[in-house]
Structure 1
Amino acid sequence: MRVIPLSVTLLAAALTLTACNDGGGATNGKGDSACAIGGVSVQIGSASVAPGAGDTGEVPVSITNQSAPCTLDDFPDVVLVTGGSKVAVPVAQGAKAQKLKLAKGDFASFTISYVRGAAGDGTSLAAKTVEISLPGAKDAESFPWSYGPVAGKGGSDNTPNASVGAFQQSGD
């Protein structure tokens, strides 16, 4: 009878387990693929536009999985882009990320909340586009920002008076 060393058996088992990743994106360490742009469709819905300076608006964003099961495990990255700069939108204060697994056809959503700034005001951000990327993924998708200037919080870091909410499971 032939004896195979334990180290060879363990190596074979480890290689078999690492081959389980479907290549759909980065993994979260548990073998789940992160949802990635290209495997999902991203849509910005009908916004509750802030009508004037100082008013608050909300922009809903929905994610629909178009491919293999994937996971949303953290907050989306949202960046407002002007003609020459990019400014990250912070996570809403007190928001708690939840891990969502999306099968093909499942969808989730999150909201971008913002305070409208005054046009031409030095503290307002005249955003032209918004870039959205998903947690654990590298690619971003750009959308036109047609909701007016975003008020700034002031200070040297040019933080917009806006925030990103957590993903919420949508549908059935």
Structure 2
Amino acid sequence: MRALRITVTALAASLVLTACDSEGGDTDSKPRAGEPCAIGSVRIAVGPANVAPAAGDTGNVPVTVTNPGPECTLKGFPEVVLDTGHHSVEVPADKAAKAGELTLAEGTAASFTLTYVRGAEGDGSLAVRTLRIALPGSSEQRDFDWSNYGPVAGTDTPQASFTAFQQAGD
């Protein structure tokens, strides 16, 4: 009889624990403070850009992440990839950029800037079609059209980099 009471008690305790997370709250799909911002839960705007007009010129493309929902965190750098449709290359963070941590409350935004050198059409440059972005702490990605910005100088190593996240707005 004593073994039955222990088994029932252990079963009840495991059921109670599965209904709570490590913070002691109810489990649900809403992000909690400190959780990474999920790319499917935020709005991302690319541009308007300062487009590089000719080969050798430098352009800047701002990327803004707005959190319309519960508080979440951007910790570290995003993953930024330039894709030609046949070849993808990762863009490195600017050497002077320091990865940080920003908490985005509901309705707040953060941004980073992608800087690139425009390449010559068909001259060993990347004929980029798509800008692919993943937020830190997540493997989910979102694609954005690159056609307005022109080719990027470089092939396996693009002449491009991006800054760390900065708080955007007021």
TM-score normalised by L of structure 1: 0.81
On the 8 A contact 1:115/1:151 being kept in 2, the answer is: yes
The answer on 1:65 being equivalent to 2:67 is yes
Whole-angstrom CA distance in 1 between matches of 2:34 and 2:28: 9
Using the TM superposition, give the Cα deviation of residue 58 of structure 1 relative to its aligned residue in structure 2, in angstroms.
0.2
Q: Residue type matched to 1:118 in 2?
A: A
- Paired residue total: 154
SS of residue paired to 1:38: helix
Which of 85, 88, 110 aligns to 1:83? It is 85
Deviations 1:127-168 (A, max 9, x none): 00101110001211111002000001x6xxx11000011000
Q: Residue type matched to 2:134 in 1?
A: S
* Superposed counterparts of 1:27-42, under 5 Å: 32-42=34-44
Bigger radius of gyration:
2
CA RMSD of aligned residues (A): 2.3
Instruction: Give the gaps of 5 or more residues in structure 2.
Output: 1-9
Using the TM superposition, give the Cα deviation of residue 23 of structure 1 relative to its aligned residue in structure 2, in angstroms.
3.9
Using the TM superposition, give the Cα deviation of residue 22 of structure 1 relative to its aligned residue in structure 2, in angstroms.
5.2
Moved over 3 A (4+): 19-25
Q: Name whichever structure is richer in helix by fraction.
A: 2
Whole-angstrom CA distance in 1 between matches of 2:166 and 2:112: 6
Q: Residue type matched to 1:135 in 2?
A: P
* Superposed counterparts of 1:21-32, under 5 Å: 23-24=29-30, 32=34
TM-score normalised by L of structure 2: 0.82
State the percentage of identical aligned residues.
52
**Distance of aligned partners of 1:64 and 1:151 in 2 relative to their CA distance in 1, 3 Å threshold:** same
